[in-house]
Amino acid sequence: MPELGAQIEKYLAELKRANASVHTLRNYASDLGQFLDYFTIKEKVTIEEIDLLAIREWLGHLHAQRLTAVSMRRKLAAVRSLFKFLLREGVIVTNVARLVRTPKAPKSLPVVMTAEQTNTLVEGVAADKLERPYPARDLAIFELLYGCGLRISELVGLNLEDFDFTERWIRVRGKGRKERQVPYGTKAAAAISHYLAEGRSSGALFLNHRGARLTDRGARGIVKFYARMITGDSSIHPHSLRHAYATHLLSDGADLRAIQELLGHSQLSTTQKYTQVSLTDLMAVYDKAHPKA
């Protein structure tokens, strides 16, 4: 029976061939590496030795390490994906990881910037007072993150050929290699046009200082830098702009199903968390303004 470590290496190689994002590859390699370490402290083990009870004991170990339910769910998802791959490859006959109950995560609402806060941030980038080396590129990054609600991996994966500059549509490659079309507005169009005027006819949209494709880590660093310098809030990250995009669309009357399509959510329940954010905002307004509150 194949050893666990060798099978993990094969699975990660398969993910790489399937063009999984750098973020996904890094997380899966880390989580599966920890999974391997747990089972090979004393000696190498085979896949056959890891049954339902063993996986439950591993989760118990994570719980004892005081990991959050969210972290445990992510690690279990990586293990389930590995076992799904092994089942497909004929290495195992039963995916025991599927039978493990998923740890319940506490329900929490994303902290969302107001439209005024978001505009202050983006306009601060546009003002170009920080003397950054690539201000046109950086503004285009912010206009697409907020103007289209893209994930950071989707943003850095964009190529020039993905754009319909006449109709203002972008072909976006999301999770699970699913493609969707997302419209972009006049401000994003102007920012992209200004950025591309610096020269380049093909290839990746966003480049780093070496002329190679900008990585998601690099893009995260750019967003964090501007957020800290302009707003003083170091907690703002690229996904904050995606949350703002969805919440502001909903607040202005956009249909929830349409927002689901724009965000590339496979399930409506994922999108519905933004309705809870809006309701929370409405209650805050009510409590502050209504005389009987």
Q: Which helix (H) or strand (E) holds 286?
A: helix 273-289
Same domain? 42 vs 161: no
**pLDDT tens column, 163-198:** 999 999 999 998 777 899 999 999 999 999 999 998
For tokens 């890094």, what's the residue? Answer: 26
Question: Which segment, 31-45, 100-114, 192-206, 269-283, is predicted with the most confidence on average?
Answer: 192-206
Instruction: Return the pLDDT at 276.
Output: 59
pLDDT band, very low/low/confident/very high, at 199 (cuts 50, 70, 90): confident
CA distance linking residue 5 with residue 267, whole number of Å: 33
Q: What six digits make up the tokens of 24?
A: 């996904």
| Beta strands 179-183; 163-164: pairing state | unpaired
Note down the domain range covering 274.
115-288
pLDDT of 281 = 53
User: In this structure, how many other beta carbons lie within 10 angstroms of the beta carbon of residue 226?
Assistant: 21
Note whether 160 and 229 are same-domain residues.
Answer: yes
205 and 160 Cβ atoms separated by less than 8 Å: yes
* Res. 59: pLDDT tops 50: yes
* Domain of residue 272, CATH code: 1.10.443.10
Instruction: Give the span between the Cα atoms of 100 and 105, in whole angstroms.
Output: 15
Note whether 80 and 203 are same-domain residues.
no
Percent residues over pLDDT 70 in the chain: 88
90 and 139 share one domain: no
- Number of domains observed in the structure of the chain: 2
Give the lowest-confidence range in 128-132, 225-229, 255-259, 289-293: 289-293
Residues 26, 170, single domain; the answer is no
Rounded to the nearest 5°, which phi and psi values hold at 264?
Answer: 80, 30
Nearest to 50 by CA among 7, 102, 9: 7
Cα of first residue to Cα of last residue in the chain, in angstroms, is: 67
Neighbours of 207 (CB within 10 A): 17
Q: Which of 258, 40, 222 shows the shortest CA–CA distance to 145?
A: 222
d(CA 233, CA 120): 12
C-alpha torsion 178→106→54→64, nearest 10: 130
Q: Is the pLDDT of residue 158 over 50?
A: yes
* C-beta neighbour count of 38 within 10 angstroms: 14
22 versus 227: the higher-pLDDT residue is: 227
Residue type, 157: G
pLDDT of amino acid 283 = 52
- pLDDT of residue 52 exceeding 70, the answer is yes
Residue ending a domain, among 99, 130, 149, is 99
Whether 175 is covered by a domain: the verdict is yes
> DSSP letters of 57-68?
HHHHHHHHTT--
Quick one: which of 141, 171, 168, 146 has its CA closest to 156?
A: 141
106 in a structural domain:
no
Q: Which residues are catalytic?
A: 151, 175, 239, 242, 265, 274
Most confident of the following: 43-47, 51-55, 111-115, 155-159: 155-159
For the record, the structure tokens of 63 come out as 């719980």
The domain that contains 61 carries what CATH number? 1.10.150.130
What pLDDT score does 291 carry?
Answer: 59
Question: Which range (8-12, 157-161, 197-201, 220-224) has the least confidence?
Answer: 197-201
Whether residues 154 and 282 share a domain: the answer is yes
State mean pLDDT over 225-236.
91
**Residue pLDDT, tens place only, 275-288:** 655 555 545 544 65
